Amino acid sequence: MTLLRVEDLHTHFIARNLDNEIQVAKALNGVSFSLDAGRILGLVGETGAGKSLTATSIMGLLRPPARIMGGRALFQGQDLLAMPDDDLNALRGRDIALVVQSPKSSLDPLSRIGDQLIRIRRAHRGGSVAEARDKAIAMLGSLGIPDPARRMRAWPHELSGGMAQRVLIALALMNEPQLLIADEPTTGLDVTVQAQILDLLRDLVRRTGIGAMIITHDLGVVAHYCDEMAVMYAGAIVESGPVRQVFRRPTHPYTVNLIGATPERLRLGATRTVGGPPPNLRALPPGCPYQDRCPQAGADCTTIPPDVALGEGHVARCHRVAA
């Protein structure tokens, strides 16, 4: 069952520069993907590719100067982008939950974590404080936090990074969401804690059958924890498909280079080939956005490349790919 279908999403940053000229940075240029319930989608790409922006656009959390210029984001059949603000706000935190990086600074410093858990539950589901408290204690316990009843009284500044991330996940899960978006959930945590958090997320999806989207620039995370992956470049998805297919047969030159640039591959003797500066979103070339850095670029790359289906849901957007 398709939980989330994003179609041709365009988001631009529109601002005036010092000379008072209007400048448009085309940050998202036709992002399309879909996510089924019970599956984990990994969104990868370099910094500035538009991974987080995709999530904030879908959730209606953009602030000026960012603006959605077109597209649809269908969540259980409803277009999130066309929804009134209040309806979307009611949906956020209830049906769609977000886990962000920097968990310690994302918790309200003046509320005990128990109060924050109770607050989010009651804001969306109502009910008594006692009910919400029981639910919160059970949730902290199920996320592997020892002595959850006592932890409820902790202040955010007393938590370690890994503990804070678990609390954030608990906040996200308090209202049994259908879709969980985790934006670099393990950045800044040490490796063992990273693995624990990601194991937790994967078990959760397996157990409850919700859909999850993990935003990361770590291909290792994608390979280990995700079912599907989508590679973003310059605000567009250049290759997507089941994780196994994409890793076995990376097809878009950018994906090939990205996978070749992981420390593991480099150690195996691969040559580092992702070169050149990141794309200038204010002046993208016509056609394929990767043409300036692509080792295989040719004259036809100045025209818009096709989405080539490679079977089993594996798609690459490139002129060089023969179907």
Partner 1 sequence: MPIGRMLARRLVLVVPLLFVILLGTFMLVRLSGQDPVGLLAGPTATAAEIELVRASLALDQPIWVQFGVYLGKVVQGDLGASWLSNRPVLAEILDRAPATLELMLWGVFIGAGIGIPVGLRAAFRPDRSFDQFSRFFSLLGFSVPTYWLGLIMLFVFFYLLEWAPPGMGRISLFLEPPPRVTGSYLIDGLIAADWELAASAASQLILPVICVAIIAAAPIIKQTRAIALEVLASDYIRYARAQGLPKREIRAMALRNSATPIVTFIGTEITGLVGTTSLIEYVFAWGGLGQYGLSAIIAGDFAAVQGYVLMLALFSVLVFLIVDIYVTLTEPRAA
Binding of partner 1 at residue 98 (CB under 8 A)?
A: yes
Binding letters toward partner 1, positions 254-293, x by CB under 8 A: ----------------------------------------
Is the peptide bond prior to 65 cis by the omega test (within 30 degrees of 0)? yes
The CB-of-123 to partner 1 minimum distance in angstroms stands at 5
Cα→Cα distances 170→69, 198, 294, Å: 34, 14, 42
Residue carrying structure tokens 């290792």: 220
Cα→Cα distances 213→178, 200, 229, 240, 290, Å: 11, 14, 9, 14, 25
Binding letters toward partner 1, positions 107-126, x by CB under 8 A: xxxxx-------xx--xx--
**Among positions 27, 43, 91, 210, the unique one binding partner 1 when judged by CB under 8 A:** 91
Question: Which window, 73-81, 125-133, 168-176, 283-291, contacts partner 1 (CB under 8 A)?
Answer: 168-176
The CB-of-323 to partner 1 minimum distance in angstroms stands at 40
The CB-of-126 to partner 1 minimum distance in angstroms stands at 12
Counting Cα atoms < 13 Å in the Cβ hemisphere of 152 gives 19
Question: Which window, 4-12, 88-96, 192-200, 253-261, contacts partner 1 (CB under 8 A)?
Answer: 88-96
**Among positions 23, 76, 102, 208, the unique one binding partner 1 when judged by CB under 8 A:** 102
Binding of partner 1 at residue 135 (CB under 8 A)?
A: no
List, as one string, the DSSP characters of 93-108: TTTEEEE-S-HHHHS-
Cα→Cα distances 177→31, 136, 174, 221, 237, Å: 23, 15, 8, 22, 26
Q: Which contiguous run of DSSP H or E holds residue 52?
A: helix 51-58
Beta strand pairing call for 228-233 and 211-215: unpaired
The residue among 53 and 171 lying less far from partner 1, judged by its C-beta, is 171
Segments in 99-232 forming alpha helices (H): 103-106, 113-125, 129-142, 148-151, 161-173, 191-208, 219-225
Between helices 113-125 and 161-173, what is the axis angle to 10°? 20
Size of the site for partner 1 (CB under 8 A): 28
The CB-of-105 to partner 1 minimum distance in angstroms stands at 4
Binding of partner 1 at residue 97 (CB under 8 A)?
A: yes
Phi and psi, residue 219, nearest 5°: -65, -25
**Among positions 14, 70, 105, 134, the unique one binding partner 1 when judged by CB under 8 A:** 105
**Among positions 100, 179, 201, 243, the unique one binding partner 1 when judged by CB under 8 A:** 100
Write out the binding residues for partner 1, residues 29-68 only, by CB under 8 A. 59, 61
Binding of partner 1 at residue 155 (CB under 8 A)?
A: yes
Which residues lie near partner 1 (CB under 8 A)? 59, 61, 89-94, 97-98, 100, 102, 105-111, 119-120, 123-124, 155, 157, 168, 171-172
